[in-house]
Structures are given as structure tokens and as C-alpha cells.
């Protein structure tokens, strides 16, 4: 079933046909949590995107070997443990447990391996030794640094400007800004009060980047198919992973690099000081279902900024419930219909649209649109009683099939009296496009743009159009007025 799968490869910046190294098998590495705090919804956006990717590959019949690291030693975990006056293990344990709990709550398929950095120090030491032996690394004051000058391919992924770097500049921080391209620490000399490991390269502890290079090689081999992360991993983390791995092993680290865009909250960067910082539990405490959150996180294309708002979450819930109520209606179909309409063509069209959408760089808007079109077209048949019990079963089976990818488990919304909530009844008049219901914010922007156009302030009208595009909304001016739709993947 289906055609060629295409993904946007950050390496090269183009959408490419996906061809795995070994036919039928996909080796997938996704950068995992740094367990210095509870995961927040921005983290979950990336993990839900990776889960959609993995589930779609499984749906298409691939076997997927998936590895996700747990970074349990780095600058942040060490700082946190020191501040609390406890050991690293004791400090990271509750965060590792919370990660596993939330992952299961969000119906994210577990990886095959969750290697912990602290359990793979020998692999990291061996990698650093190789880099020293091959001349890509040097020692300085007990630490070992990667010499980016000796690795001419540095910077290909992020396309950073290497000209700005100061020769010989070094940095020990695991995370650093784009402005400061410099040699980075592979192995950090032991400092008072910090955990360290005795090693032939000297007592110390690994840098963050070397952890992923060593553990991906251990579990997936030196070359694998897909490497994922958030856009903020591109530089320096993934750039440095590539440099370490490819310099040491002499082979390409990963064939496809997929990066998911940021999540913002109410149009702003999430931060604890602004009070817009949410862990999954904070949202569930407000009465939402985990699948509402999952639906919202997966329903914006992964390469677009996701603006998390409770309005958007309400819409996600409504969309999911409409699917659920449709399934509830199907259960009510009793016997053979008098004038049975064939539902197979509708199902086939929906499946084709769903698959074609996801094949196109995980164009989830198109995939979901195909599903809601099916509901829209099947609904009048249900109302007329033209769907047989067999037809209803086939429709229900289709939803079960696609839920292996979406994993939102749509269920009818029942009221206290045990009836399907009539306000969400799929037979009600304004049924379907609630998946794309306009938020108040979008409505206001569309109106403001109309006003600007009426006032011939085209610069302002254009600016609003661009703002909407940033929110993933495309406007089309037709002779019947303005239409809008959810944007697919960004071009290029
Ligand atoms: Zn990583």
C-alpha cells in the first residue's frame, strides 16, 4: 500500500525520498530527555512527533529499531544534584520515572533501548580515545576537546558560519550559542564536588554530545537511517554528534535528519518565570484527557511552530470527540439496511488520503482532513439508514486501523445519562470541520486583515497574512470571500 515516503532532511534542507539502508528495516535514533527536571509539553511535542513518525513507519510495514538516550550526566543534572545536595542517581531517578509515566500516558510507543549515559562510560571513553588517536582531539588541562579545524566538514548540518570562530577558542559548556563556534569538550576534567569516572584518558566525565555518539553506535551501529530531535538540537548538539561520530568512524552517522519545531504557549516562549510552563500533569489536572493533548501535539505539522493554548486544546478535544461520536453512531447500526450504500469507496478514499498525507513528510493536516471527509460523507448515509451492519463494521475497522498511527483512541462522548452527548452528535448540522475550527485569535486576525485591505493598508494586510502563516493558517482570497485552511509542511 502507498507510494514513496518522503521526508524533509535537515542535512541539505530538502524533501527527499526515504530509502532505508536495509529494505524493510528502519534504524531510528531520537535524542532523549536530559533528566534534570520534569518533562514539559515542549519536550512532549518532539516525542509525540517522533512517535507519529515511528508509528507511520510501522503502519507501512517497516520494522523499526528505536533507541532513545537518557542523559543522566551533563552540566544541568550535575548542577541540579549539587543544589539539592544529593548524588546524581538519586537526583535523576524521579525525572526518569516521570518521563516513563508521561510517555505511557501519551500512548507513545516505548523505544527498544533507553541507554543511560552513566551506564555507557566505557563506550564514550573508547570514542574519545579513537578521536585522540586519529588526531581530531587534543588534551588540555585534563580535558579532551574536539578540534573543529581538523574536521573540514564541520557545520554542514546547521550551515553555521565558521568564519566567525576564533582559532583555538574552547568551550566546556554542553550547550552554547551559535555565535560561538568553538572546540568543544568531549571529556571534562574532574572538578571538586562533581561526579567523575577513572579512565585512561584521565579522571573526568563525558560531555553531552559524546554520549549520543557513543550510545547510538552501540545500539544501532555507526550508520543508521533516521536521527531526530528538536530544532534547537541542530546546533551545537547534532553538529557535534556528526563531527565526533564521522571523524571517529569514517562513515556517515545518519542518512536522514528530522527536526521538529518549537512549541510556544499563548504565543510566547515557555518559561517558568512567565507562569506559562506546563508539565503534562498540569494540563491533565485541568480535566483534559491525555489523548486531547496528544491530538493537539500531533495535529500541527512537525516543522511548524506549535502555539499551545487551552482554546486549541479544546478544539483538539472536540475533534477527537467527533471521531468518537461517529464511532458511537456506528455501533447503533442494527441490521441490514434497506437500500445499502457501499461504504468501501469512501473508506478507500480516506485511506488513500490518510496515507498520501503522511507519506508527504508527515503532512498530518492532509491525513486528518481525509478522515474528517470520510465522516462528512458517511454521515448522511447513516442518517438515511443506508449503512448496513457490515458497512458500519468496516468503517469502525478503518478507524481502528488509523488509530495504530494516531493513537488517540476516539470514544463516544457520553453524558451523565449514558447517552451520546447531543451537542457533539455527528448528525448535528455543523459537523465536520471542527478539527479546523477557527480560534478566536484567527478570526480576529482575518477580520483585522479584511479591515486593513478595505483601508488599502496592504502592508499591514500582508503582515497579518504572514502572522497567520506562522500559526500554520493559509488564507485564500476567492471571489466568494476569504477562505482559510491549515497549512501543510513548509515549502523546501
Ligand atoms: Zn543527542
Cα–Cα nearest to 424, from 343, 335, 327 = 327
Question: Locate cell 475533534: which residue?
Answer: 319
- Poorest-pLDDT segment among 268-277, 374-383, 420-429: 420-429
Residue 423 to residue 313: CA distance in whole angstroms: 18
Cα(388) to centroid(ligand 1), Å: 52
CA of 297 to the centre of ligand 1 (A): 21
Residue 77 CA, ligand 1 centroid: distance in Å: 15
Distance 27 CA to ligand 1 centre (A): 15
Q: Is the pLDDT of residue 136 over 60?
A: yes
Q: How far is the CA of 67 from the centre of ligand 1 (A)?
A: 11
> In angstroms, rounded to a whole number, what is the distance separating the alpha carbons of residues 146 and 207?
11
pTM, 2 dp: 0.86
> Rounded to the nearest whole angstrom, what is the distance from the C-alpha of residue 91 to the centroid of ligand 1?
21
Q: What is the pLDDT of residues 312-339, one digit of tens each?
A: 999 999 999 999 999 999 988 886 656 6
pLDDT for position 440: 58
pLDDT score at 143: 96
Distance 221 CA to ligand 1 centre (A): 15
Q: How far apart are alpha carbons 45 and 312 in whole angstroms? A: 14
The predicted pLDDT at position 449 comes to 86
- What average pLDDT is seen over the chain? 90
Distance CA 238, CA 29 (A): 12
Check residue 434 and give its pLDDT.
35
Closest by alpha carbon to 407, among 280, 299, 284?
299
In the predicted model, what is the mean pLDDT of residues 94-117? 98
Instruction: Compute the distance from residue 325 Cα to the ligand 1 centre, in Å.
Output: 41
Residue with cell 554542553: 174
10 CA to centre of ligand 1 in angstroms: 15
What span, in angstroms and rounded, lies between the C-alpha atoms of 135 and 158?
Answer: 24
Across 476-491, average pLDDT: 70
237 CA to middle of ligand 1, Å? Answer: 6
Please give the Cα distance from 95 to 104 (Å, whole number). 14
d(CA 481, CA 475): 10
Distance 447 CA to ligand 1 centre (A): 44
- Looking at residue 428, what is its pLDDT? 36
CB-count exposure of residue 47 (10 Å: 0-12, 13-18, 19+): buried
- Comparing CA positions, the residue from 355, 115, 358, 66 lying closest to residue 225 is 66
pLDDT at 425: 46
Question: What confidence score (pLDDT) does residue 426 get?
Answer: 44
Dist. CA 30 → ligand 1 center (Å) = 7
Residue 325: per-residue pLDDT: 92
Q: What is the pLDDT of residue 172?
A: 87
pLDDT tens for 156-167 read 999 988 877 776
Mean pLDDT of 144-149: 95
Dihedral pair phi/psi, residue 114, rounded to 5°: -120, 75
List, in sequence order, every residue forming a beta bridge with 264; answer none if it has no partner. Answer: 307
Cα(463) to centroid(ligand 1), Å: 37
What pLDDT does residue 87 have?
95
| Cα distances (angstroms) measured from residue 264 to each of 10, 256, 491 | 21, 26, 21
pLDDT for the residue numbered 439 = 56
Using one digit for the tens of pLDDT, what is the confidence trace for 40-99?
A: 999 999 999 999 999 999 999 999 999 999 999 999 999 999 999 999 999 999 999 999
pLDDT digits (tens, 9 = 90+) for 409-450: 998 877 666 655 555 544 433 333 333 445 556 767 887 888
| Separation of CA 31 and ligand 1 centre (Å) | 4
> Could you count the other beta carbons within 10 Å of the beta carbon of residue 286?
9
Integer distance in angstroms from the first to the last C-alpha of the chain? 26
Q: What is the DSSP letter of 164?
A: G
Neighbours of 135 (CB within 10 A): 11
C-alpha cell at 95: 525525572
All three cell numbers of 439, joined, read 480560534
Q: Which residue has the cell 447500526?
A: 333
CA of 69 to the centre of ligand 1 (A): 7
CA of 215 to the centre of ligand 1 (A): 9
80 C-alpha vs ligand 1 centroid, how far in Å?
A: 20
Confidence category of residue 271, pLDDT binned at 50, 70, 90: confident
User: Across residues 114-128, what is the average pLDDT?
Assistant: 98
Place of cell 493559509: 474
At 21 the pLDDT is: 98
Alpha helices in 85-206 (DSSP H): 88-105, 121-133
Q: Cα separation of 145 and 75, whole Å?
A: 16
Q: Which of 25-29, 119-123, 216-220, 381-385 has the lowest mean pLDDT?
A: 381-385
% pLDDT > 70, the chain = 90
pLDDT at 189 over 90: yes
Collect all residues with Cβ–Cβ distance below 8 Å to 255 and sequence separation of at least 6: 19, 21, 223, 224, 225, 226
Q: How far apart are CA 331 and CA 288, in angstroms?
A: 25
pLDDT in tens, 194-235: 999 999 999 999 999 999 999 999 999 999 999 999 999 999
What's the 68 CA to ligand 1 centre distance in angstroms?
Answer: 8
User: pLDDT at residue 375 above 50?
Assistant: yes
Q: Report the 10 Å Cβ neighbour count for 207.
A: 28
Q: Using alpha carbons, select from 270, 292, 237, 259 the residue that is nearest to residue 37.
A: 270
DSSP one-letter code for 361:
T
How many angstroms is it from 34 CA to the middle of ligand 1?
9
Output the CA 131–ligand 1 centroid distance in Å: 18
- The reported pLDDT for the residue numbered 488 is 74
Backbone angles phi, psi at 105, to 5 degrees: -60, -40
How many whole angstroms from 364 Cα to the centroid of ligand 1? 26
Residue 201 C-alpha to ligand 1 middle, in angstroms?
22
29 alpha carbon – ligand 1 mean position (Å): 8
**Which residues are CB-contacts of 230 (< 8 A; sequence separation ≥ 6)?**
31, 42, 46, 259, 260, 261, 262
Amino acid at each position: 500500500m502507498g507510494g514513496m515516503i518522503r521526508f524533509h532532511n535537515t542535512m541539505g534542507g530538502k524533501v527527499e525520498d526515504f530509502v532505508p539502508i536495509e529494505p524493510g528495516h528502519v534504524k531510528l535514533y531520537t535524542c532523549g530527555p536530559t533528566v534534570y527536571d520534569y518533562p514539559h509539553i515542549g519536550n512532549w511535542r518532539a516525542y509525540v512527533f517522533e512517535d507519529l513518525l515511528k508509528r507511520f513507519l510501522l503502519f507501512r510495514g517497516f520494522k523499526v529499531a528505536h533507541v532513545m538516550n537518557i542523559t543522566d550526566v551533563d552540566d544541568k543534572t550535575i548542577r541540579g544534584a549539587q543544589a539539592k545536595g544529593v548524588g546524581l542517581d538519586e537526583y535523576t531517578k524521579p525525572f526518569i520515572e516521570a518521563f516513563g509515566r508521561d510517555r505511557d500516558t501519551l500512548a507513545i510507543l516505548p523505544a527498544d533501548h533507553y541507554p543511560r549515559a552513566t551506564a555507557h562510560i566505557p563506550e564514550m571513553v573508547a570514542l574519545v580515545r579513537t578521536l585522540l588517536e586519529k588526531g581530531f582531539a587534543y588534551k588540555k588541562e585534563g580535558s579532551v576537546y574536539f578540534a573543529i579545524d581538523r574536521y573540514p566538514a564541520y557545520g554542514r548540518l546547521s550551515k553555521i558560519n565558521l568564519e566567525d570562530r576564533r582559532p583555538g577558542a574552547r568551550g566546556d559548556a554542553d550547550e552554547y550559542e551559535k555565535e560561538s563556534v568553538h572546540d568543544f569538550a568531549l571529556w571534562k576534567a574532574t572538578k571538586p564536588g562533581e561526579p567523575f569516572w577513572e579512565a585512561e584518558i584521565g579522571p573526568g566525565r563525558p560531555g553531552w554530545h559524546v554520549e549520543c555518539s557513543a550510545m547510538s553506535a552501540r545500539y544501532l551501529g555507526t550508520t543508521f537511517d533516521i536521527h531526530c530531535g528538536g530544532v534547537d538540537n541542530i546546533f551545537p548538539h547534532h553538529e557535534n554528534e556528526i563531527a565526533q561520530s564521522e571523524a571517529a568512524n569514517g562513515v556517515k552517522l545518519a542518512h536522514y535528519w528530522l527536526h521538529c519545531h518549537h512549541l510556544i504557549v499563548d504565543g510566547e516562549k515557555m518559561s517558568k518565570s512567565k507562569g506559562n510552563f506546563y508539565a503534562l500533569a498540569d494540563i491533565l489536572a485541568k480535566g483534559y484527557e491525555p489523548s486531547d493533548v496528544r491530538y493537539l501535539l500531533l495535529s500541527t505539522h512537525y516543522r511548524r511552530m506549535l502555539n499551545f493554548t487551552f482554546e486549541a486544546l479544546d478544539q483538539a478535544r472536540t475533534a477527537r470527540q467527533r471521531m468518537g461520536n461517529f464511532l458511537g453512531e456506528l455501533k447503533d447500526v442494527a441490521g441490514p439496511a434497506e437500500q445499502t450504500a457501499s461504504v468501501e469507496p469512501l473508506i478507500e478514499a480516506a485511506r488513500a488520503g490518510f496515507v498520501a498525507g503522511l507519506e508527504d513528510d508527515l503532512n498530518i493536516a492532509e491525513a486528518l482532513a481525509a478522515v474528517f471527509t470520510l465522516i462528512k460523507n458517511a454521515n448522511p448515509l447513516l442518517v438515511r439508514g443506508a449503512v448496513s451492519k457490515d458497512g458500519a463494521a468496516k468503517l469502525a475497522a478503518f478507524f481502528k486501523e488509523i488509530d495504530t498511527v494516531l493513537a488517540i483512541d476516539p470514544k463516544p462522548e457520553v453524558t451523565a445519562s449514558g447517552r451520546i452527548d447531543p451537542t457533539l452528535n455527528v448528525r448535528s448540522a455543523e459537523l465536520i470541520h471542527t478539527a479546523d475550527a477557527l480560534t478566536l485569535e484567527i478570526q480576529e486576525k482575518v477580520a483585522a486583515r479584511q479591515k486593513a485591505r478595505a483601508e488599502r493598508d496592504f502592508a499591514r494586510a500582508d503582515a497579518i497574512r504572514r502572522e497567520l502563516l506562522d500559526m500554520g493558517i493559509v488564507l485564500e482570497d476567492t471571489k466568494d470571500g476569504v477562505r482559510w485552511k491549515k497549512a501543510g509542511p513548509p515549502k523546501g
